[in-house]
Amino acid sequence: MRYIMFLLFFLSLIEPLHADYRDLFQRQFIDKPWGGAPIVREGVCIDCHTSKIMKADYLKIPQEWKMSIHYKNKVSCHDCHGGDPDDAAVSCGTPHSGFVGTPKYKDVPELCGKCHVGILKNYLTSGHGKALKSRGEGPNCVTCHGAHNTQKASIEIINDVRCTKCHTYERARTMKQALFVVEKKITELENQLTDMKKSGAITEDIEKALFRTTAEFRTIFHTVDVNLVKAKTGEYSSKLSLIENDLKKIIEEYQFRRNFSAFLLVLFTIMGILVYINQKK
Amino acid sequence: MLSKIYNWIDCRIGLTELIRKEFREYYVPKDVSLWSTLGFVTLIAFLIQALTGIFLLTYYIPHPDHAFSSIQNIMNRIPYGWLFRSMHIVGANLLMIILFLHIVFVFYRAGYKKPRELNWLTGAIMFLIVLLFCVTGYLLPWTQLSYWSTTILTSIPTILPGIGEYISRFIKGGEFVTGVTLTRFFAFHVAFLPFILVVLILLHVFLIWRTGFSSLYDDPGICQKAELYMGRPQYKDGKPFYPDFFNKYMQMTFVYLIVMFFIITFKPGLFLTEYAYVKADPLSTPLLIRPPWYFLAPYSMIRMIPNKFLGISIQLILLLLFIIWPFVDIKEEKNIRKRPILLGLFTVAILVWVFLTIWGRF
């Protein structure tokens, strides 16, 4: 009985400490993305947009978004449309929350420009932007990039089918040719980076540099000014060459590893053969 | 200088006498082959895993926020860290291959029969411990591959009614694979399991030393009827352990190292997928994720049998049968070629295992 009493007394001392520890543990180990807390806050948007109350046209939006570059980069509904992803009443019911369901055709660039600031600025100075703002007729962002299933941009977005909807393809072709050299280099570097990442190399800094350079270059393109793009091609080519040099260093390091490992392979093979010959003697 | 040191030690512990008695004058049976060296190669493989593991332990951080980046640092920033980690990854997989071959060979040669039941028992438990090493080690890099493979593996016990959910939660330390699971697995991988394994290895080696090498030429009748320890069998018509058999050990050890470095040189990602280079993301399930190859057979079996409880029950029974096999097969005959039914079952079991492993890839 004495031992039981002692044990109970001991446990009564332990429990409060344990409770504190549990709270701390909960905060440090459970309430984290890797502890089960969501990273992409889908919230109520997805609930409604996949339910029967939604119009048929809007039901496909979640699926399209999940296939987009935005989803991959963890950009969620409220990042573009505003509102509160945890409360449908605040999100969809009141304009005070900043929620914009379907923006007006003219206002789309500002919606995308919340993140793509440089591109918005250049777009507004372009013929496309001016036409949109003055007559409400020019192409906006979704004309070329799509609305929810937005894919990673490439030079192939410029094509005769898309451009000839509004004007002849001649000017667009000249632009595509001007972009070609730099875009080709960007694609090559991206492919090399993907390969190196698959080998486990740390390419974060190079990726960031490439992303920055690509984004800057594509910002210029949104002015739709062929002469400006041509003038900047040299500058961006040399920036990409610097990135290529950094990447080459990583490739060389991996080549060294292969050679070193091959050296050990040869060494062990020779030692194995010597042991075998020794036994035969 | 060296001879002086040797003499100093020899004078105190009788090293020369020990080597003469235990190595030069100990004869192994004449029917031993390169296959008989697999146990020793397994030991070498364990040692390589331990040494490379200790190196990795120096730089690894067992926390979800840092585990992946610490592995990246080992692979890219720590001098020759890539070599140690590559050896650890390839070594773990090769260890499993050698273990499988070792078990198959011991079974084929009936090396589990009296007086070697305990050798089999300790070996079988060691095999399970190695599997636990693999499970716990797989999560540590905290990649998409490790996270989701662990999610699959730790969900398997939920098939068991009643206690299944509890077991699964106990393993994971909660409902999902989280930082708690990582810490738990890390502790098992570097502290708890190594301790048990070292004890079992010592016991296994001790038992081999006391029971000697198994031979098909042993008289099974005498062994079966013996009621007292018969001593280590002597094979005067055999070959001396040193240098003859020891050379075979060395040869196979080099074959092991050659295979390991062949893979590291020409196919370093052989045992990994692209998800092994992406940090774990609990909310993004990869399209194709499956357990490592050595778990594919049981995984396929569970997938194949519609009643999951039946599937896991069959596996548990097979596992129990595997462990207690020396007490099930008590026939005197050691040569499996003279036992067509057992040989047939043995062949079918291997073929089914290979089939299920290949099937699990798809």
pLDDT tens digits, residue range B199-219? 999 999 999 999 888 887 776
Expressed as residue numbers, the domain containing A276 is: 168-281
Q: Do residue A174 and residue A268 come from a single domain?
A: yes
Alpha-carbon distance B194 to B57, whole Å? 13
Q: How many domains does chain B have?
A: 1
Alpha-carbon distance A257 to A255, whole Å? 5
CB spacing of A268 vs B258 below 8 angstroms: yes
Which residue from A101, A118, A99 is spatially nearest to A109, judged by alpha carbons? Answer: A118
> What part of A 18-57 touches B (C-beta under 8 Å)?
25, 28-30, 32-36, 38-40
Expressed as residue numbers, the domain containing B82 is: 27-282
Residue A55 has pLDDT above 50, yes or no: yes
Partnered with residue B116 across adjacent β-strands are none
Q: Does B265 touch chain A (CB under 8 A)?
A: yes
Give Dmax (Cα) for chain A.
97
Partnered with residue B27 across adjacent β-strands are B240
Please state the length of chain B.
362
Closest chain A residue to the Cα of B264, Cα to Cα: A261
* H/E stretch holding A236: helix A226-280
Q: Do residue A139 and residue A231 come from a single domain?
A: no
Q: Is the peptide bond before A38 cis (omega within 30 degrees of 0)?
A: no
Q: Give the nearest partner residue to A261 out of B265, B276, B281, using CB atoms.
A: B265
Does residue A247 lie within any of the structural domains?
A: yes
Q: Do residue A115 and residue A224 come from a single domain?
A: no
Q: Does B250 touch chain A (CB under 8 A)?
A: yes
Number of Cβ within 10 Å of residue A205's Cβ equals 10
Phi, psi (degrees; rounded to nearest 5) at B143: -105, 175
Min Cα separation A271/chain B (Å): 7
Q: Does B251 touch chain A (CB under 8 A)?
A: yes
Please give the average per-residue pLDDT across B327-342, as a whole number: 88
User: Structure tokens of A56?
Assistant: 């048929």
Closest chain B residue to the Cα of A266, Cα to Cα: B258
Q: Give the nearest partner residue to B280 out of A34, A261, A278, using CB atoms.
A: A34
Q: Does B268 touch chain A (CB under 8 A)?
A: yes
Q: Is the peptide bond before B115 cis (omega within 30 degrees of 0)?
A: yes
Q: Give the nearest partner residue to B258 out of A34, A38, A269, using CB atoms.
A: A269
Min Cα separation A19/chain B (Å): 17
Q: Give the nearest partner residue to B179 out of A35, A202, A257, using CB atoms.
A: A35
Does residue A74 lie within any of the structural domains?
A: no
> Residue A93 — very low, low, confident or very high, per pLDDT cuts 50/70/90?
low
Question: Cα angle vertex B264, ends B259, B267, to 5°?
Answer: 95
A29 contacts on B by Cβ (under 8 Å): 178-180, 183
Q: Does B72 touch chain A (CB under 8 A)?
A: yes
DSSP percent split of chain B into helix, strand, coil, nearest 5: 70, 0, 25
Please enumerate in sequence order all residues whose Cβ is within 8 A of that of A189, keeping only pairs 6 or more positions apart, or say none: A210, A240, A243, A244, A247
Which range (A54-68, A82-96, A171-185, B157-171) has the least confidence? A82-96
CB spacing of B258 vs A265 below 8 angstroms: yes
Residue B125 has pLDDT above 60, yes or no: yes
Residue B334 has pLDDT above 50, yes or no: yes
Residue A209 has pLDDT above 60, yes or no: yes
Which range (A83-87, A272-276, B322-326) has the least confidence? A83-87
Q: Do residue A224 and residue A274 come from a single domain?
A: yes
| Token pair 């192409």: residue | A139
pLDDT of residue A32: 57
User: Structure tokens of B80?
Assistant: 């020759």
Taking only the tens place, the pLDDT of each residue in B126-141 is: 999 999 999 999 999 9
Does residue A14 lie within any of the structural domains?
A: no
Taking only the tens place, the pLDDT of each residue in B31-77 is: 888 889 999 999 999 999 999 999 999 999 999 999 999 999 999 88
Does residue B316 lie within any of the structural domains?
A: no
pLDDT of residue B244: 86
Alpha-carbon distance B278 to A198, whole Å? 9
Alpha-carbon distance A269 to B254, whole Å? 7
Closest chain A residue to the Cα of B81, Cα to Cα: A257
Domain termination residue (choose one: A147, A177, A200): A147
Would you state the torsion angle of the CA atoms of residues B89, B95, B98, B104, taken in this order, to the nearest 10 degrees? Answer: -120
pLDDT of residue A1: 63
B72 contacts on A by Cβ (under 8 Å): 200, 202
Phi, psi (degrees; rounded to nearest 5) at A201: -75, 150
Q: Do residue A278 and residue A172 come from a single domain?
A: yes
Q: How many domains does chain A have?
A: 2
The dihedral built from the CA positions of residue B246, B252, B256 and B257, taken in this order, carries a sign that is positive
Does residue B114 lie within any of the structural domains?
A: yes
A33 contacts on B by Cβ (under 8 Å): 281-283
Burial profile B234-263: b = 16 or more Cβ within 10 angstroms, e = fewer: ebeebbebbeebbbbbbbbbbbbbbbbbbb
CATH of the domain at B86: 1.20.810.10
Please tell me what DSSP assigns to residue A91.
I
Does residue A253 lie within any of the structural domains?
A: yes
Q: Do residue A252 and residue A177 come from a single domain?
A: yes
Averaged pLDDT of chain B: 90
Does residue B234 lie within any of the structural domains?
A: yes
Closest chain A residue to the Cα of B251, Cα to Cα: A272
CA–centroid distance for B325 within its chain:
18
Does residue A243 lie within any of the structural domains?
A: yes
Would you state the torsion angle of the CA atoms of residues B249, B252, B253, B259, taken in this order, to the nearest 10 degrees? Answer: 180
Does residue A216 lie within any of the structural domains?
A: yes
Q: Do residue A173 and residue A247 come from a single domain?
A: yes
**Contact criterion met (CB below 8 Å) for A82 and A92:** no
A2/B323: higher pLDDT = B323
> Residue A117 — very low, low, confident or very high, per pLDDT cuts 50/70/90?
confident
Alpha-carbon distance A124 to A109, whole Å? 9
> Residue B324 — very low, low, confident or very high, per pLDDT cuts 50/70/90?
very high
Q: Give the nearest partner residue to A198 out of B77, B248, B274, using CB atoms.
A: B274
Please enumerate in sequence order all residues whose Cβ is within 8 A of that of A215, keeping only pairs 6 or more positions apart, or say none: A118
pLDDT of residue A21: 61
Closest chain A residue to the Cα of B277, Cα to Cα: A200
